[in-house]
A and B are shown apart, each in its own frame.
Chain A
Amino acid sequence: QQQVKQSPQSLIVQKGGIPIINCAYENTAFDYFPWYQQFPGKGPALLIAIRPDVSEKKEGRFTISFNKSAKQFSLHIMDSQPGDSATYFCAASSFRNAGNMLTFGGGTRLMVKP
C-alpha cells in the first residue's frame, strides 16, 4: 500500500526554535521525497526535496534528513520565524509511476510564536 504517514498533526514553537516534522513510508520503490509548504488560502508550493542517494539536504534554513533503512525522512526548520507558520506536507513518488504521481502525508500545521 502506498502510504506516507506524517507526524505530528500540529506543532507550536517559539521564534528561533527548531520544529521537526517526521514522515514514514512503506513502499520501497519510492525514490523522490518532496516537502510542500501551504499558506492559508493558497495552493501548496515545493519547499525542498531529496532523493534516497543522499542522507541530508539543506536549503537555507530548511533541512531534510533521510534514513533509507528506516524508511523515514524528516524536515527541520532552523531558526524558525513567524512567517514559517503554515501547513507542511511530505510526499513521495516512485520512478515506476508513469504519471509521476505524488502520495502525500496528512500534513502538519506549524505555528511559530513571536
Chain B
Amino acid sequence: NAGVTQTPKFRILKIGQSMTLQCTQDMNHNYMYWYRQDPGMGLKLIYYSVGAGITDKGEVPNGYNVSRSTTEDFPLRLELAAPSQTSVYFCASSNNRAEQYFGPGTRLTVT
C-alpha cells in the first residue's frame, strides 16, 4: 500500500491564480482531512470528509473548496490564491477514532 499520496510536492503560484492539490489514499478509509501548517505552527484543519459525497468545514476553510466523489480521492481547490495561503498542506485519512495517516505534504508559495 502506498498510504496517502499528495501531488504536487511543491508549487509556486502567482496571486489570483487557482490550483488543485491532489490527495489519494489506498487504505479504504472513510475519513479524510486537509490541514495547513504554517512555519513553526501546529496544524489547522481546513476541511474534512466522513465519506464519499460528504464534506464539512474545519477551522480555516475560507479561500478553499473540496469535493469527495470517491472514497480514495479528496482534492483541495484554491481559488484566487493569496499570500496568506502560503503554507504546507497535509492530507490525512482515518478509518476509526485512532490513527490519522498523513501524506508527505505539498509546499505552496503564493507570490
Contact = CB atoms under 8 A, between A and B. Distances in A.
**A and B physically associate:** yes
Interface of A: 6, 9, 32, 34, 41-46, 49, 89, 93, 95, 98-102, 104-107, 109
Interface residues on B, range: 20 to 34
A49 B98 contact: yes
Contacts, number: 56
B77 to A, nearest CB: 19
Interchain residue pairs A-B with the least CB separation, the first 10: A43-B102, A104-B42, A106-B42, A46-B99, A104-B43, A99-B48, A44-B102, A107-B42, A43-B90, A43-B104
A78 B100 CA distance: 25
Contacts of B82: none
Contacts of A101: 33, 45, 48, 58
Interface centre among B41, B98, B100 (most CB of A within 10 A): B100
B64 to A, nearest CB: 16
A89 B105 contact: no
Interface in B31-69: 31, 33, 40-45, 48, 50, 56, 58
B41 to A, nearest CB: 6
A100 B41 contact: no
A43 B94 CA distance: 14
Nearest to A51: B97
B84 interface: no
A46 B93 CA distance: 12
B1 interface: no
A99 B96 CA distance: 10
B102 A107 contact: no
A85 to B, nearest CB: 16
B42 A45 contact: no
